Structure 1
């Protein structure tokens, strides 16, 4: 399991006092109001920062970090990931998972057929869609709905799916 989870990307600076605009990569943008500590992934190192304040402009979180008070000090972080430690992550409800914890899990049918490995989760709005890569290198799209995905167990590394009639045929080229 990953120790840090991405909650956003620093998209730009805001003003001259060291504030930054965040492109959220979390489902709950209200979480930024409660954010106290986070980490900036510079690509070479993790820079721990404390959040001094948060405000919103048109659904875009704007954060001010403690000890970063000038535009020049924060400009170098544009385009960098904003991470939180797993212990500071949003608490999940039953049957909720972080996508990062699902990527790489083996996908099997409820009849024991090996389908492949989960490589991505597409967020479509109506429901998420699992992208599964087969041993032959093909991609299979499986809707993440209760009828199709009855069991997910990250602790065992396995997702069990129920293949509705014709689902695999829809994915063939």
Structure 2
């Protein structure tokens, strides 16, 4: 039996060719852009749709599915959960720690926009409110929140993460 992971949601139609605007969690963006098949929730089941094209039109993501050629056909697929098969996710393959969303960043190099290189991420810890990266910064371990508002860039190919941190956070 296939296992699916919700990576986002379809939003509304775009243009006259049957494109859909979609919202995808940042962590799954690369997988979404490379996907050949997406799964949409139709009457409680994950139904496969072949991808004709995905593209970024800042600040939106657009997806053209095969055999969905009109705005009316696309409208039938709006506001639905969007899935990929777990086996198709590179994130799931990298993720070493249970259900942690950012568990895969252990081993990445950490950077801060103004301070530059901080050091390696030693591990990711789960706290009640959020996940925290343990970074080896100047010979000591510093906890940095793994929060979307603070993360400026996450590059899985280069294995780097760039934060914009509040002043003084690294001195705590």
TM-score (norm 1): 0.54
Quick one: distance in 1 between partners of 2:75 and 2:126? 36
Name segments (4+ residues, structure 1) moved above 6 Å.
none
CA shift in 2, pair 1:71/1:26, >3 Å: same
CA shift, 1:129, in A, is 5.5
| Partner residue in 1 for 2:116 | none
Q: Secondary structure at the match of 2:68?
A: coil
Matched, 1:90 2:90: yes
Shift of 1:33: 2.4
For the Cα contact (< 8 Å) 2:46–2:83, is it kept in 1?
A: no
- Say whether residues 1:130 and 2:127 are aligned partners: yes
1-side partners of 2:69 and 2:86: how far apart? Answer: 27
In structure 2, the residue matched to 1:4 is 4
Q: What is the CA–CA distance in structure 2 between the aligned matches of 1:52 and 1:142, rounded to whole Å?
A: 36
How far does residue 42 in structure 1 lie from its aligned partner after superposition?
2.7
Q: Which has the higher helix share?
A: 2
The structure carrying a bigger strand percent of its residues is 2
Distance 1:98 1:10 in 2: 24
Tell me, in whole angstroms, the C-alpha distance in 2 between the residues paired with 1:75 and 1:68.
Answer: 10
Structure 1 residues without counterparts, runs of 5 or longer: 103-126, 132-140, 150-173
